[in-house]
Structure 1
Amino acid sequence: MPHNGQLTSQKRFSQIGFSRLIRLEWLERTANLALAGNDESSIYDALQRLLDNKLYGGKNVKGGSREKTIAILRKVWVRPPIHLICLRDDGLEILSHIPREEHVIIHWGMTMAAYPFWSAVAMHIGRQLRLQGTTSVGQVQRRISEQYGERGAVSLAVQKIFLSLADWGLLSRTANRGIYVPGLSFAINDIRVIAWLVEAFLHVHQGGPLMLDTILNSPSLFPFLINPVSAGQLVKASGRLDAFSVGIGQDFLVIGKAN
């Protein structure tokens, strides 16, 4: 019989959570507030001001769009699940050292880790882009509904993720409603960034183990061209990754006990 920790983990992987358009500038602002050392209350107030007149429903409107949006922003960069705190801290530190145009990589990784549903949607988007060069909101909604159930909330959340990815510049709309093509792509050569992104990916898959090639070539990382690296390089660059081999060219990675 699963213990409480397992039940909590299972629940996290069956939840949607990400149900609003999240603009990249809002994530950037939230991360900057955290980097500046603001406490949770100050960050909450700053986000209320940021979203004032942009979204309906402030702190006095229970369940309002603004409150739900702030909840997502805070879960990513302010109060992530406890097992993601080290990942969050390292992500903030990386943000302070890489060019602004590359920040989307870190926002992607932290959003993916905090919201496994995001990663599931990205996986289907990436698969469609590889197969046909385009991706359809309707097709992804159908695939995700097979995993999460035929619920209106599922279809709405998929739509919001598409809109978010378009805002981030990672998908581009076409003349056909609900059809998107790839947007910006980013080459990732910094070993520390790669190791951090690999750790974020492993958190989506409950810590691994996963084959290195599976991670680096995952459709759920479709906007990124990751420089080939070895498992040993990743372990050396991260204090929380462990690796083992089961054959030639079959290197596996797992989040180690240090996390």
Structure 2
Amino acid sequence: MRKRIGISRNINLGWLNKAAELYISGKDEKEIIDALDEYLSLEIKSPTNLKKTRGILMNIWGRDVEGRERIKKIAIELLKTGKNENILLGHWCLMLVAYPVFTDICSIIGKMDRQRFHITNRDIKNKMFDLWGERSTLYHSIDKNIKTLKDIGVLDTLPKNRYGINRYNIENKKGIILIAYTLTYIKEKLYISTMELNNSPEFFPFEYNITIDILEDSNIFSIDRFGGELVVSR
């Protein structure tokens, strides 16, 4: 089955914060849609582009999806800390679970960064075409995802068509729990090793340390030993 592309418009941190604010305030889905339309219309004049942008924000924040309740709950707690790195992480995790294309792009960038390769638009696109197949909608979506990563403060443009990465240190224990929980969700495995949790390319801009003590204290995860290594499941 062909995967859906999903993200067709770039989004910025201000829009994500507004969508989160409306959801946290307790508004229902229609109220959030109406409020987002009014808010976005100040910056987006095209009705088609406004509708697409609002739809993306609704998929990330505005709608509840079965199985993602805990992720959103912890994300809200992080946003309420008021710290930039925690706010970004909360949005990031909800974007990962909402849009597989965003997850794959982040994974590709993270692997390139880990291997110390230059991060370029061309190389990201080539690797995404290998995963998804070469189609025009994907080509357009990759550009919008990269623009989003720039707009939310993760990527910077460097000379020679390369990108640099801004790093964010996560010390909040709930943030660390959210990273672990999100990874167990998107990986769709029965279990995941602690080494994989701490070296996930999907979380390339974040610096963090997931420890067994933090996971055990959360009362969310099961910790076992398999094949000589510690593994985590939820």
Aligned counterpart, 1:181? 164
Query: Does 2:10 correspond to 1:21?
Result: yes
- Out of 2, 10, 31, the residue aligned to residue 20 of structure 2 is 31
Aligned-pair Cα RMSD in Å: 1.9
Asked if the contact 2:85–2:168 (Cα under 8 Å) also holds between the matched residues in 1, the reply is: no
TM normalised by structure 2 equals 0.91
Q: 1:242 to 1:31 in 2, by over 3 A?
A: same
Query: Does 2:53 correspond to 1:69?
Result: yes
Aligned counterpart, 2:136? 152
Aligned counterpart, 1:198? 180
- 1:245 maps to a residue whose letter is R
| Structure 2: gaps (5+ residues) | none
Q: 1:55 to 1:207 in 2, by over 3 A?
A: farther
- Between the aligned partners of 1:198 and 1:181, the Cα distance in structure 2 is 25
1:26-81, Cα deviation, whole Å (9 max, x unpaired): 111111111111121111111111111422443xxxxx111111111111112143
Identity of aligned residues (%): 24
- Between the aligned partners of 2:223 and 2:99, the Cα distance in structure 1 is 25
Q: 1:138 to 1:54 in 2, by over 3 A?
A: same
- State the 1:247 CA deviation: 4.5
Aligned counterpart, 2:89? 105
- Between the aligned partners of 2:178 and 2:100, the Cα distance in structure 1 is 16
- Between the aligned partners of 1:242 and 1:56, the Cα distance in structure 2 is 49
Count how many residue pairs are aligned between Structure 1 and Structure 2.
Answer: 234
Asked if the contact 2:180–2:210 (Cα under 8 Å) also holds between the matched residues in 1, the reply is: no
Asked if the contact 2:85–2:170 (Cα under 8 Å) also holds between the matched residues in 1, the reply is: no
Query: Does 2:201 correspond to 1:234?
Result: no
Q: 1:220 to 1:175 in 2, by over 3 A?
A: same
Aligned counterpart, 2:223? 243
Aligned counterpart, 1:172? 156
Q: 1:202 to 1:15 in 2, by over 3 A?
A: farther
TM normalised by structure 1 equals 0.83
- Between the aligned partners of 1:53 and 1:25, the Cα distance in structure 2 is 13
- Out of 27, 35, 52, the residue aligned to residue 46 of structure 1 is 35
Aligned counterpart, 2:123? 139
- Between the aligned partners of 1:176 and 1:253, the Cα distance in structure 2 is 41
- Structure having greater relative contact order (Cα 8 Å, sep ≥ 6): 2
Query: Does 2:122 correspond to 1:122?
Result: no
